[in-house]
Chains A and B, each alone.
Chain A
Amino acid sequence: MGDLRIYAALAGGKWRSMLSYRASFAAEMLSNLGATVLDVTTVFVLFRATATVGGFTLAEAILMTGLTALGFVLADMTVGNIDDLKRYVRTGLLDTMLIRPLPVLPQLVFTDLPLRKLLRVAFGAAVYTLALAANHIHWTPARVLLAVLTPLGAALFFGAIFVLTASFAFWWVESGEIGNGFTYGGRDFTSYPITVYSNWFRDLFAYALGFGFVAYQPALALLGRTDPLGLPAWAGFVSPLVALPAVAIATLVWRTGIRRYRSTGS
């Protein structure tokens, strides 16, 4: 309970500091929402030129986009701020967090209270729900369960990717934008049917890194479509489990990184 009060105090401090710049907070909230709106609009714009992309219709593609959007913004709202770890490591600010009797990860999360991202989550959920309604899904208990678990699995998976890529900073302070290639790049990858990509690039992102199981495979299972790339039908139903190894690896790398961290001394 004591710990919770401390986190609440950290979050409250951030909240008050944000309220002193109200206009900027409103603008941030709107542009956060706008970013997700744009991702979805882009899919509509692309489908103006063609009826199917990679063999999938607009409604089917939007199901994958909506799933991705909801899962990604959930992860972004909770651990997305960890992007800032580079700055904490470079400036030595991380020292302050290490000497407090609390784990570092929750501190980083609560120090930057991301309430400005709430509207995005609502929008992501709306797109996902509408996409579920727009496709003629043959509902079974297994599919209902899958429809509920998939966004959570996606959120865990993206959260793990956020933590993993941010942990690069422990080994390589100037890793700069490399993490974005996997976090935001991963989001863009899973927003479309993976049939649009080819060769080693698809194998790398979809199977080696696991992004193919975030939205594409579960969407196939919900829609009752067979995978044109040849994975069996049950693969879609177990896809959310891909989050578990991702979280395990992220935890391991994070712990190793924290232990390896040496202050800048400045």
Chain B
Amino acid sequence: MDRIGASVLTISPSRPFRVSATTFGALVWSGFRRYATYRQATIAGSFTNIVFGFLRCYVLLAVAAGAVGNRPGGYDVEQLATYVWVGQGLLSVIGIWGWTELADRIRTGDIASDLLRPVPPVVSYLATDLGRATHGMLTRFIPPLIIGALFFPFSTPDRWQTVPLFVLSVVLAVIGSFGCRYLVNATAYWLHDARGPQMLWTLGSGVLAGLYFPLRLLPEWLTVTLWVATPLPGLLQTPLDVLVERDSPAVQAGLVALQAFWAVAMLALAALVQRRAERKLVVQGG
């Protein structure tokens, strides 16, 4: 038994770290390759991101033209353009929409085979999601940025720490987004059909993450409440504010710390919910 066990790709605290890391890496790579097969969908998606980039950018710049000091929400014109176009690029990296795989597998009963694997579902899905995000970063992130930079003035970072903080913030946004999506999908353990929660999520996440307009355009008390009490601004608004240097260096770093707290909290909650679900799960289907 031991010899067979040794050749199985596992992730478990009782195994050497190197084995777990190798398995995790293999899962990330498989997630990457899976999305790399949909080349036409990548092109189609980028096209749509770019159309919405134009629409949102023009509207926000028109708002800036009429705002006090041309700075709505404290952003100047370059910062707004950067905000919109980098946001369009990040949209499919963060991947807030469209992931229903877990809920579908729970509904059909395929989840049973996930539970048989020697890797906890939260970990294996996180790994494939990181692979998906890496693919998104290499393919979907760049095209809107290039088009945006061709037609609009962009702001460039002045501080040395901005780019590393932005990269960290994007990773945290992917993890936080994964945690939230896992929880939304996991409602299928109790509801069987997670379409309702999925739709509420699609609806709320876009606006509360700062996709339609920067959250700073809302009254200040509301912006602060959202930031502190929900993980949602951490999915898009935080990386974008970090990149355009909307705040002082201390606040910039503080926002990423807050984002890190929420990312870890959502992941822990997802793991907790998964354990509770496994205790009550009745596998559907034949």
Contact = CB atoms under 8 A, between A and B. Distances in A.
Contact of B203 (A38, A50, A192): A38
Nearest to B216: A49
B203 A181 contact: no
Interface string B161-199: 000000000000000000000000000000111111101
B199 A45 contact: no
Contact of A21 (B40, B73, B192, B204): B192
Contacts of B264: none
A185 B51 contact: yes
Interface residues of A, number: 41
A216 interface: no
Per DSSP, are chain A's interface residues mostly helix, strand or loop, or mixed?
helix
Interface string B53-74: 0111011111111111000110
Interface in B36-61: 38, 40-41, 44-45, 47-48, 51-52, 54-56, 58-61
Contacts of B191: 23-24
Given A46-B213, A50-B67, A35 B203 contact: yes
Interface residues of B, number: 43
B258 interface: no
Contact of A27 (B72, B196, B217): B196
Contacts of B55: 185, 188-189, 197
A28 interface: yes
B250 interface: no
Interface stretch (A73-81, A140-148, A170-178, A222-230): A170-178
Contacts of A21: 192-193, 195-196
A245 interface: no
A25 B196 contact: yes
B41 A174 contact: yes
Contacts of A181: 47-48, 51-52
Interface string A177-197: 110111001001100100111
